[in-house]
Amino acid sequence: MSSTSIEIQPKKHYEILDGLRGVAAILVVAFHIFEAFGGGNRFIQIINHGYLAVDFFFLLSGFVVAYAYDDRWARMTQWEFYKRRLIRLQPMVIMGMIIGAIFYYFQASDILFPMIAGMEAWKVILTMVIGFTLLPIPPSLEIRGWGEMHPLNGPAWSLFFEYIANILYALIFRKFSNKVLGFFVLIFAGLLINYTVFGPKGDVIGGWSLNLEQMNVGFTRLLYPFFAGVLLSRLGKLIHIKGAFWVCSILITIVLALPRFGDENSLWMNGLYESICIILVFPLIVAIGAGGEIKSAFSTKICKLLGDISYPIYITHYPLIYWFTAWVVDNKVSIADGYAVGIGVLIASIVMAYLCLKLYDEPVRNWLLRRSKGSK
């Protein structure tokens, strides 16, 4: 770090936004649990739009990054920015890959994951080490059969794009005026609408594979929400209502839980719904959440707990989902027979995330921050 740099002082914290991130993360886990019973049919999925939580996370990230750093570039280098983001995100990326490797052989399935039983250990270890860097795994190192860029921990794909967004922000977009940024946000909104409404699937599902089609989905999902979040933070047009956390929690739950719109012959209907959610509803929820105030000690504790575990839940739960999905498919388990185990997976995901937070993530981040300050 530059010897002339100064310590960046923390700003006011948006506790409600932290809480909403936790609500969305728990809904993601529930979505993935129900997904195991869907047989790959997106038209009958329960909590049908749970995957939109990723797009909500991107918007939240853009908002928070701009709020935290937009006015600090005169006294902060790019490396200092990258280092702070790495300290915040990278420790749990590594833990997510370790957990994925630990659970890998327990996920063996003749139907779903036939590659696992005979997979060489060195290849799993190599995949884990590459995963520590978030570099995408090439098809030649496939160890699961789903074509994921991070086959030990699928959701890490969104962190890969999160890092790309942070780099684009630091290199280019932070320098734009609001008008120029708004112009790009409109272009990104157009790309999103074009893909969801006029595209082949009628949804934004995807982004986790290292091929042109999936990379296109990933960037389409990333660019509008992240930089719309940056613009929303700059504009400061917040909405002040009572009970903002509970209102926003209900809104995000409804948005993610609604059934899919239309059928195979009217894909545009669902695409239009998702475009409206990402382009209009999510910024509205963030504006309400950022403009709200927490009045009760109970709400404060809930928001803090949800905020603390939100990222650990998201980045560590999927190894359990691989196992649960394989169990459901191999044994042809119905929802009626498997819901209790699903609840157990949800609880286990929350407990595992909390233990990772307290025993690993917070101590490691605090140590890295102390080392960072000491290197000035």
Given a cut of 60, is residue 2 above it in pLDDT?
Answer: no
Average pLDDT, the chain: 94
pLDDT at 376: 52
Given a cut of 90, is residue 139 above it in pLDDT?
Answer: no
> What is the SS3 string spanning the chain?
CCCCCCCCCCCCCCHHHHHHHHHHHHHHHHHHHHHCCCCCCCCCCCCCCCCHHHHHHHHHHHHHHHHHHCCCHHHCCHHHHHHHHHHHHHHHHHHHHHHHHHHHHHHCCCCCCCCCCCCCHHHHHHHHHHHHHCCCCCHHHCCCCCCCCCCCCCCHHHHHHHHHHHHHHHHCHHHCCHHHHHHHHHHHHHHHHHHHHHCCCCCCCCCCCCCHHHHHHHHHHHHHHHHHHHHHHHHCCCCCCCCHHHHHHHHHHHHHHCCCCCCCCCHHHHHHHHHHHHHHHHHHHHHHHHHCCCCCHHHHHHHHHHHHHHHHHHHHCHHHHHHHHHHHHHHCCCHHHHHHHHHHHHHHHHHHHHHHHHHHHHHHHHHHHHHHHHCC
Share of the chain above pLDDT 90, in %: 91
pLDDT in tens, 358-376: 999 999 999 999 988 765 5
> Residues 148-160: what's their mean pLDDT?
97
Given a cut of 70, is residue 244 above it in pLDDT?
Answer: yes
pLDDT band at residue 316, thresholds of 50, 70 and 90? Answer: very high
pLDDT band at residue 4, thresholds of 50, 70 and 90? Answer: very low
pLDDT band at residue 147, thresholds of 50, 70 and 90? Answer: very high
Given a cut of 50, is residue 294 above it in pLDDT?
Answer: yes
pLDDT band at residue 258, thresholds of 50, 70 and 90? Answer: very high
Given a cut of 90, is residue 40 above it in pLDDT?
Answer: no
pLDDT in tens, 60-87: 999 999 999 999 999 999 999 999 999 9
pLDDT at 356: 98
Given a cut of 50, is residue 192 above it in pLDDT?
Answer: yes
Q: What pTM was estimated for this model as a whole?
A: 0.94
> Residues 286-297: what's their mean pLDDT?
94
Given a cut of 90, is residue 167 above it in pLDDT?
Answer: yes
> Residues 269-276: what's their mean pLDDT?
98
> Residues 37-56: what's their mean pLDDT?
94
pLDDT at 295: 86
pLDDT band at residue 9, thresholds of 50, 70 and 90? Answer: low
pLDDT at 373: 77
pLDDT band at residue 260, thresholds of 50, 70 and 90? Answer: very high
pLDDT at 1: 30
Given a cut of 60, is residue 344 above it in pLDDT?
Answer: yes
Instruction: Give the start-to-end residue ranges of the domains of the chain.
Output: 15-31+42-318+352-374
Given a cut of 50, is residue 308 above it in pLDDT?
Answer: yes
pLDDT band at residue 287, thresholds of 50, 70 and 90? Answer: very high
